[in-house]
């Protein structure tokens, strides 16, 4: 699954930590960097996301901690 497809399925928009500043979604697949506007970790709903399930990802808080790949290094 590529970033474009994942960003359409991504459920971050319903997350309590999410703040919309126009960033592309699917933080779990971002190649570099983290969200520049999500700062507070007040819950992460990634474990209920179809993208995470399909790709077999294990981490959370991709917006503030980096992608699955980055957190796995």
Sole binder of ligand SF4 in the list 20, 28, 66, 72 (CB under 6 A): 28
Rounded CA-CA distance 40/16 in Å is 9
Examine residue 59 and tell whether it contacts ligand SF4 (CB under 6 A): no
Examine residue 63 and tell whether it contacts ligand SF4 (CB under 6 A): yes
Rounded CA-CA distance 44/52 in Å is 12
Tokens representing residue 51 in the block:
């993208």
Sole binder of ligand SF4 in the list 12, 21, 22, 66 (CB under 6 A): 12
Q: What are phi and psi of 35, to 5 degrees?
A: -60, 140
What minimum distance in Å lies between the beta carbon of 1 and ligand SF4?
A: 9
């Amino acid at each position: 699954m590529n970033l474009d497809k994942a960003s359409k399925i991504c459920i971050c928009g319903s997350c309590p930590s999410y703040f919309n500043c126009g960033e592309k979604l699917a933080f779990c697949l971002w190649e570099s960097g983290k969200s520049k506007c999500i700062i507070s970790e007040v819950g992460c709903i990634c474990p209920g996301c179809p993208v995470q399930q399909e790709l077999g990802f294990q981490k959370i808080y991709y917006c503030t901690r980096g992608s699955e790949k980055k957190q796995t290094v």
